[in-house]
């Protein structure tokens, strides 16, 4: 049974149209964007809590740095998604 499943997956991937492959890539990037968003929200909430509790220490500044890095990653992924969506018109 396992062999049949791998064979079917191979056939589907081999014969999958270019449009379907690009749609799959967009879906994967959306998934990554969701993960980055969830981490960004949790780190942001933690950093705000530390600020409100007046616990300004190394972890607070690392949180700010991490928020900046995650924001850049978010923008890069969002830009990639927009480019791939615009490229769908050419396929």
1 in a structural domain: no
37 in a structural domain: yes
pLDDT confidence bin for 19, thresholds 50/70/90: confident
10 in a structural domain: no
3 in a structural domain: no
Q: 48 or 24: which carries more pLDDT confidence?
A: 48
The 10s digit of each residue's pLDDT in 68-89 is 999 999 999 999 999 989 888 8
Structure tokens of 77? 């992924």
d(C-alpha 41, C-alpha 67), whole Å: 9
* Counted domains in the chain: 1
**Domain range for residue 57?**
18-90
The 10s digit of each residue's pLDDT in 25-52 is 889 999 999 999 999 999 999 999 999 9
Entry pTM: 0.74
4 in a structural domain: no
Opening angle at CA 73, ends 69 and 76, nearest 5: 140
């Amino acid at each position: 049974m396992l062999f049949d499943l791998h064979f079917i997956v191979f056939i589907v991937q081999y014969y999958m149209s270019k449009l379907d492959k690009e749609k799959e890539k967009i879906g994967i990037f959306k998934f990554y964007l969701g993960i980055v968003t969830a981490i960004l929200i949790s780190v942001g909430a933690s950093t705000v809590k530390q600020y409100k509790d007046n616990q300004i220490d190394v972890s607070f500044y690392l949180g700010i740095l991490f928020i900046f890095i995650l924001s850049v990653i978010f923008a890069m992924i969002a830009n990639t998604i927009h480019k791939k969506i615009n490229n769908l018109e050419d396929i």
